[in-house]
Amino acid sequence: MRSLITILGLLTQFTTAATCNGHDELCDRQYSNITFVGSHNSAFVGYLPVDNQFTSVADQLSQGVRFLQAQTHDKDGTVELCHTSCLEEDAGSLEGYLVMVKTFLDSNADEVVTLLLTNGDGIAGADFAGVFEAAGIDSYAYSPGSNLALAEWPTLGELISAGTRLVVFMDYPADDAVSYILDEFTSVVNSPLISSHNSTTDASFPQCSIDRPSGASASGRMYLVNHYLDTEIFGIDIPNAAAAATTNSASSILAQANLCAGLYRRNPNFIILDWISVGDAIAVQNELNGVS
Ligand SMILES: *[C@@H]1O[C@H](CO)[C@@H](O)[C@H](O)[C@H]1NC(C)=O
Ligand SMILES: *[C@@H]1O[C@H](CO)[C@@H](O)[C@H](O)[C@H]1NC(C)=O
């Protein structure tokens, strides 16, 4: 009995060490061949019209979310998480946010997390590097050294063994001063950028066209799908919290993912949602990755 317990204990340890983002099967799979269902505007948490999420970033990570998108702005020299402007919504400093992500990485050694930062104010790479260093998270960040083709991405297991468990993309880096801030549009295509009025408010998510960068094709690139719904109030589009359960249901997300897969012959790499705590985000992620 005692030796059986010992063996079970060893097996458990072995299994734990061979698990990547919760699934053994993902250890040998290339990062570029994995679907991540992530949170759009992950830092804007609350019940106001400017919010996109109900739960904190720490809770999103606990839920199993491994792809976080966040908007950065320059607030008097501080890199701040603000919604369009810091007067509209100020969710605190990027440093405070990164400290939360680091806390998660520190205590979850078999997990890889991706950040997609937007840089609407053109903040310099060195300023971002300063924030990553102040948060103590820079040593986790993955630097490929060059632009990777789809087939060149490491597996999750390789990222975990190397201790480089944070992948950082930025939509518009101001420069290439920081080796771990990866230019989103050399490797990812945004599809579709939900700024066109009729696509944001159409609950059927009828399209998966590539619109950023303009004229680009998904061929040879990872691609991102925006799956969040707005509603119009007094002529302004705001996140549709009331529809979250429907928008984030497996049937709604999978319908758009299948539409995309039909066009591009492989599943989306990233699907981002508002109100990710509602609905079937992680179940859909598992289904698209063929894991249970
Ligand atoms: C509305 O959607 C249609 C079909 O997806 C598209 O062709 C058209 O360009 C869109 N209009 C706007 C204003 O985005
Ligand atoms: C991963 O590869 C499999 C097999 O080719 C494919 O069916 C799936 O769509 C790919 N997923 C992604 C995200 O590339």
pLDDT of residue 152: 95
pLDDT of residue 17: 47
Ligand 2 contact, 267 CB (< 6 A) = yes
Q: How many CB atoms lie within 10 A of CB 239?
A: 24
Over residues 89-106, the mean pLDDT reads 98
Q: Is the pLDDT of residue 192 over 70?
A: no
Q: Is the pLDDT of residue 198 over 50?
A: no
Report which secondary-structure segment, H or E, holds 81.
Answer: strand 78-83
Phi, psi of 151 (to 5 degrees): -75, -5
Q: Is the pLDDT of residue 72 over 60?
A: yes
Q: How far is 210 from 203, CA to CA, in rounded Å?
A: 19
CA dihedral 92, 95, 97, 102 (to 10 degrees): -160
Q: Is the pLDDT of residue 224 over 80?
A: yes
Interval between CA 99 and ligand 1 midpoint (Å): 40
Percentage of residues in the chain with pLDDT exceeding 70? Answer: 91
pLDDT of residue 187: 84
> Closest ligand to 30 CA?
2
Q: Is the pLDDT of residue 197 over 90?
A: no
Q: Which of 191, 196, 204 to mutate to test the pocket of ligand 1 (most atoms within 8 A of CB)?
A: 196
Q: Considering only CA atoms, which residue is closest to atom 6 of ligand 2?
A: 266
Structure token digits, residue 14: 């072995």
The residues carrying an active-site annotation are: 40, 83
pLDDT of residue 219: 85
Q: What is the secondary structure of 103-141 as a DSSP string?
A: HHHHH-TT--EEEEEEETT---HHHHHHHHHHHT-GGGB
pLDDT of residue 4: 55
Q: How far is 236 from 133, CA to CA, in rounded Å?
A: 38
pLDDT of residue 7: 54
pLDDT of residue 211: 80
Over residues 269-278, the mean pLDDT reads 96
Over residues 274-285, the mean pLDDT reads 98
pLDDT of residue 178: 97
pLDDT of residue 16: 43
What's the DSSP call for residue 259? H
pLDDT of residue 199: 53
Establish whether the linkage from the previous residue to 268 is cis, with ω within 30° of 0. Answer: no
> Closest ligand to 195 CA?
1
Q: How far is 275 from 277, CA to CA, in rounded Å?
A: 5
81 — pLDDT class (breaks 50, 70, 90):
very high
How far apart are the two ends of the chain, measured CA to CA in Å? Answer: 31
Over residues 101-122, the mean pLDDT reads 97
Interval between CA 197 and ligand 1 midpoint (Å): 8
226 — pLDDT class (breaks 50, 70, 90):
very high
Q: How far is 235 from 238, CA to CA, in rounded Å?
A: 10
Q: Considering only CA atoms, which residue is closest to atom 12 of ligand 2?
A: 33
Q: How far is 141 from 168, CA to CA, in rounded Å?
A: 7
Q: Which of 26, 29, 30, 33 to mutate to test the pocket of ligand 2 (most atoms within 8 A of CB)?
A: 33
Ligand 2 contact, 30 CB (< 6 A) = no
Report the mean per-residue pLDDT for the chain: 91
Q: How far is 56 from 103, CA to CA, in rounded Å?
A: 14
pLDDT tens digits along 7-27: 555 554 444 447 999 999 999
Ligand 2 contact, 33 CB (< 6 A) = yes
Could you tell me which residues are beta bridge partners of residue 232?
Answer: 237
Which atom of ligand 1 is nearest to 196's Cα? 14
pLDDT of residue 234: 84
Contact by Cβ (8 Å): 260, 268: yes
Cα–Cα distance list, 154 to 51, 137, 139, 150 (Å):
35, 20, 17, 10
SS3 49: coil
